[in-house]
Chains A and B, each alone.
Chain A
Amino acid sequence: MRLKVNRFLFHKADAHPRECEDAVGVNAAAGRFAVVDGATEGFDSRRWARYLAHGWIRAGACDVMAAEEAIRLLGGRLRARHRMDSLPWYLQERAQQGAFAAFIGLSLHPPGTWDALAVGDSCLFQERPSQFLAFPLAEPEHFLERPFLVPSLIEQDPHLRRHVRQERGVSLPGDCFLLMSDAIACWYLAHGRCERDLGKRLHRLMSDDRRAELEGLVIEERAAKRLRNDDVAIVRIEVVVG
């Protein structure tokens, strides 16, 4: 199975690049990919998003129990970095609440199957000429809800398992998988996929890795108020024919 992979990360307008709290994980050799959207309201969510993305692409399993164990370990590692006594009162409070992130992870298996695991509103889309699959959210309206997110302090939040969504399917040569964080996923369902020229343009820019032009498209759509001003993370995986 040959894969063509492109990844993109754009920060919010008016924000510094270092404030981007989305993360992408790519391990093409292992067929594992992730997009993680750290919640701005959490403490150290940017690092938490990176930990989750890297944790996923290094792991082998794709089940809830393994995910829970990994989150526990990664959460412990994150917590160990924080020297609470040296933090001012407001950061101590934030740190006590922990970090949060929306997560979508995809695992492609050589015989032509895939598994995905999601928490929150980061999305996976699978596209082929006659088929479109959206997971875990399929309608733009669903993005208005406040989703459950992966907590770094899993001990304080025992409901994670209830919110983990799993999906699996078959992949064929020519299939295209998109992993997207919430704002761009919502836009894709509402506009990018439905407006033929726009969809073609988007795929061309991603496939050709024309980063600056893709960022220009993001800026245009934000200015037109069609795309929410939020960080944008995309991983595009094409299963190459032949």
Chain B
Amino acid sequence: MPYSAEISRTNPGCFIFLLDQSGSMADGVGSGDVQLRKADFLSDVVNRALHDLVIRCTRTEEIRDYYYVSLIGYGRHGGAVGPGFAGRLAGQALVKISEVGEYPARLESRTKKVVDGAGGLVEQVVRFPIWVDPVAENGTPMCAALQQAKGIVDSWLAEHPHCFPPVVLHITDGASTDGDPTQAGQAIMDSRSTDGNALLFNCHISSQRAARIEYPNESAALPDDFARAMFAMSSVMPVEFRSAATAVGISLPEGARGFVFNADATALVHFFDIGTRPANLR
């Protein structure tokens, strides 16, 4: 059965976060009183996702290397594509989860509201590790970014032929400026381990108040060619990920693709929750 390989230290998994850091990411996301730049919100969500992966791999006194993580930004620094880690991990294409845990660029203090045990909420200061900073510059070289991800996927598969297939989580807010990305996306999905094809999940975030479309199983209802192209290069979600969706209250139809169009802030958080949760971690 595909997508059933156990994820362990001897057979680790691989996540690749592909982040649009183009100029339009400076636009706002959210509504009402809460207005954030998309780039700021995305970096917060990615930092949170990395934090959760580290915590999930922390077993007793250590972080166990169940995962390797790649973070690729595109658009930034003159329209380049490259590793997106800040701090000591800067420039590294693929990093063990134990190193991610050991070397955040910095620890910030944030506040969160917690139940006070007396029917109310109190603010609690928590440490929030930062690995990626918000960037919003230049164009959207999506094809080049997907090709770079494909290179990492193939190198990984050559070294781990029986692994749970690599998962690429791609977040963008607009159309590619270096050509049609469909072929580059398909090339990722064609790579495979003995446990199944690599998975490419796409999330399109929007500043518009447009109807959100989450995890569709057909393209007929999609509004335009861009959405249909993103749908075509999104993997069908294996059952483990569909279970993760159910856990956050999203019921997915049979054949649902890992694709969200016009995502708002909540949908983006769910996208990461679902996409980083293959269930068979030992």
Chain A residues in the interface with B (C-beta under 8 A): 12, 14, 19, 21, 40-46, 88-94, 229
Contacts and interface: CB of A to CB of B under 8 A. Distances in A.
B250 interface: no
B127 A89 contact: yes
A98 B8 CA distance: 23
Interface of B: 6, 8-10, 54-56, 58-61, 63, 101-102, 104, 107, 127, 129, 282
Chain B at the A interface: SS class: mixed
Given A14-B10, A88-B101, A229-B6, A93 B55 contact: yes
Contact of A14 (B8, B58, B61, B104): B8
Contacts of B63: 90
Contacts of A40: 59-60
A1 to B, nearest CB: 38
A14 B127 contact: no
A178 to B, nearest CB: 25
A40 B64 CA distance: 11
Nearest to B63: A90
B127 A92 contact: yes
A43 B63 CA distance: 12
A94 B107 CA distance: 16
Contacts of B129: 89
Contact of B61 (A12, A91, A93, A229): A91
A43 B107 CA distance: 21
11 contacts: A12-B282, A14-B8, A40-B59, A40-B60, A41-B56, A44-B60, A91-B58, A93-B55, A93-B58, A94-B58, A229-B6
B124 to A, nearest CB: 10
A21 B61 CA distance: 12
B212 to A, nearest CB: 30
Given A43-B60, A46-B60, A94-B55, A89 B107 contact: yes
A67 B54 CA distance: 34
Nearest to A43: B60
B9 A14 contact: yes
Nearest to B54: A90
Contacts of B10: 14
Contacts of B60: 19, 21, 40, 42-46
Nearest to A18: B60
